[in-house]
Amino acid sequence: MVLVGTDVQKAKEFLEQGEVIGLPTETVYGLAGNALNPDAVLKIFKVKNRPSFDPLIVHTDSLDKAETFVTAIPEKARRVAERFWPGPVTILLPKKAVIPDLVSSGLDTVAIRIPNHPLALKLLSVLDFPLAAPSANPFGYISPTTARHVVQQLGDQIPYVLDGGSAQVGIESTIIGFSDDGPIVYRLGGMTLEKLEAVLGKVAVRSHSTSNPKAPGMLSSHYAPRKPLLLKTPQEILKTHKPERIGVLAFDELTRLIPLENQQILSVTGDLNEAAKNLFAAMRALDALDVDVIVADLLPEMGLGRAVNDRLRRAAFK
């Protein structure tokens, strides 16, 4: 039976024993293990049923520690780290040999971030190693935003979940790398393009890959409920399904065409940040209903709306 609590010392002991645990962050809950221990990293892949060609994010609690895992931090990357860490942005950097190839899926770069969550930072500060921590869910399924979600999905496979409450951002970190041509966002996420471009100037976006991704979270099909999710209007889907067999994921307005109990609204005020925070919990609630299909609205393509739309498009990808 999995234990759930706020005991950082207990979490530390499990991690030092090579176990993996549920880790709260401001984005989503992670499935965390010692990033320098290949056996612990392998356990992460096994628990998630995650393909080993999909790299992991390494979490630490200071820029000084991050520098010990990489060969260099380019000037623009350092600018992002100093401005936005701790926070929901992950930086791809050239790795040292101390980072196992299993973590980086054989790539010569490693994805690193400092999470902005007090319990995660407290735990990281007392560990002698960084944590590899993808989202704490079966591979490809909806990411968890509460400790309860982690227990529901992985509870019999891990010994402990550190409970840090509901994730405040609600979607994964933005991943950014740097090439000779400039900064590239490989995954849209909790740090908006607008904020990054205010620091860096123009940023390119290359966020999808069908195989052998260059960064975590790039696979085209991801974050998906078990029920089919379609980016259509209720009117369109009513041509083939009865109203009571349809679930609706709405941005800011419900529809009269579908039973109210079959609808989830992300933000009644149209707040993109609130919508991002509520996305995965709403998808999870709809997936639990006795419906045949879920239809979803896309959000405005600005701010965190871009990242929410990215998750919805991948959830709908077939």
pLDDT, tens digit, 9 for 90 and up, residues 149-198: 999 999 889 999 999 999 999 999 999 999 888 999 999 999 999 999 99
18: left (phi over 0), alpha (psi -120 to 50) or beta: left
Residues making up the annotated binding site are 27, 50, 59, 109, 113, 133, 135, 143, 173, 187, 223
Top CATH class, 3-73+86-170: alpha beta
Average pLDDT, stretch 226-239?
Answer: 94
Q: Please name the CATH architecture into which domain 229-316 falls.
A: 3-Layer(aba) Sandwich (3.40)
Residues annotated as binding site for ATP? 50, 59, 109, 135, 143, 187, 223
Domain boundaries, the chain: 3-73+86-170, 229-316
**pLDDT attached to residue 211:** 47
pTM value surpassing 0.75: yes
Exposure string of 121-147, with b = 16+ CB inside 10 Å and e = fewer, is bbbbeebebbbbbbbbbeebbbbbbbb
Position 206 scores a pLDDT of: 86
pLDDT, mean of residues 253-275: 97
Which region, left, alpha or beta, applies to residue 120 given φ > 0 means left and ψ of -120 to 50 means alpha?
Answer: alpha
Residues comprising the binding site for L-threonine? 27, 113, 133, 173
Structure tokens at 247: 């679930």
